Structure 1
Amino acid sequence: MVLANILRTAAHAHRPLSHDSELVQAIALLAPDHQDATWPRTRAWNEARSLPREYSPTFLAAFTGRKGKIRSYRCP
C-alpha cells in the first residue's frame, strides 16, 4: 500500500525498471527446475537421517560423534 502511494504521488522521481537481459530470463526459467530437483533430494536425506533416530536410538548412538553429528565411516 505504501509503495503504491509513493508511486502515485511521486512517480516523476522514480525511473522505470529496465527489461531483463536474455541471461536473466534464462536463469529465471531454470531456477524453478533446479528447486524441483533439489527439494526431493533434501527431503529424502532428512528422512533418511530421522528414521534411525526414531526407530533405533542405540544404533544411531554407535555412529554419532562427540558433537552429536553422524560420523562418516571409511573402509580401511
Structure 2
Amino acid sequence: MEFCDVLSSGGDLVHVKRKSRSSTLSHLFAQGSVSATTLLSDGHCRTQIRQLIEDEVPSDSRGRWLNLVPAAD
C-alpha cells in the first residue's frame, strides 16, 4: 500500500494522480480513504511509517514528523 505521496508538516496526507479519466480519480479517492482508515486502525502500518521516518528524516527534525504518526497500540 502506498501510504501517501506527500506527508505535510501539518499532518495532511497528500495523494497525487494525473486527472485523465474518471477511473483515475476514483482510484485517488479510494487511496485516500484506505490510507486514512489504515492510519487509524493498523498499528503495524504506523510502525512501518514511523520506521521510514526514522530512516529518512534528519535527526534534528525527526521528532516533529514522528509526532504526526501515532505509535502502535
Length-normalised TM-score, structure 1: 0.31
Normalized per residue, the structure richer in strand is 2
Which entry has the higher C-alpha Rg, 1 or 2? Answer: 1
Pick 1 or 2: higher relative contact order, CA cutoff 8 A, min separation 6.
2
